[in-house]
Amino acid sequence: MSNSWITVQQTRSPIRRPGDQRAILIGLGLNRIGRIKELPDTPATRGMIRKVSHLVRVIRETTELDKFVEEVRAIYRELITARIRRGNFLWQQFEAAAGACRADPNRDDRQITERVNELAVAKLLAEDPHLKGPIEYKPEFLPDGCKIDFVCDRGNDNLYVEVKSVRPRTPDTEEAW
């Protein structure tokens, strides 16, 4: 599977063009002016686009990380920023981790993994019907400066939640599976 995607739009008609150019447009899924398609970024796709570059335009190139970040935003953002105290701070940490991964794709992705795990736990806490009191992310209440990830007020007591991300030591290879 391709890691990135290209979005192309047909801008001109293939009328009075050679038949192979029409076939390429159909192969790209474009058969009308204004039609937009998202295609995997492969050498074959790039070659097809190059052949009909006078009939199409590339709107944007999307990576797998971009798609992942959009999915995370759709699932978590509204709930986290509305229901969790200091949820905006957690969200800013996620966006910063995503930006760091975009800036250096070869860098270790532990930061973004840890933030997504915290977002997932925050969502579970926010949707728990038994937790009616406030939920706070990394509250400033311990005198020694140590922080716990979440504190949930349950009325007569508090629930303290610490999120830990553990990465497997086994390499992600066919042999390991």
Average pLDDT, the chain: 86
The one-letter amino acid code at 160 reads Y
H or E stretch at 47 = helix 43-51
Give the pLDDT confidence of 12-63 residue by residue, as tens digits. Answer: 999 999 999 999 999 999 989 999 998 888 899 999 999 999 999 998 776 7
pTM: 0.64
Helix axis angle, 87-103 to 110-127, nearest 10°: 150
> When comparing pLDDT for 129 and 145, which is higher?
129
Query: What pLDDT is attached to residue 33?
Result: 93
Contact between 148 and 162 (Cβ < 8 Å): yes
Please enumerate in sequence order all residues whose Cβ is within 8 A of that of 168, keeping only pairs 6 or more positions apart, or say none: none
Query: What pLDDT is attached to residue 130?
Result: 85
Distance of alpha carbon 139 from alpha carbon 124, whole angstroms: 18
Domains of the chain as residue ranges with CATH: 4-54 (3.30.1390.20), 65-161 (no CATH)
pLDDT at 175 over 60: yes
Mapped onto helix, strand or coil, the DSSP state of residue 173 is: coil
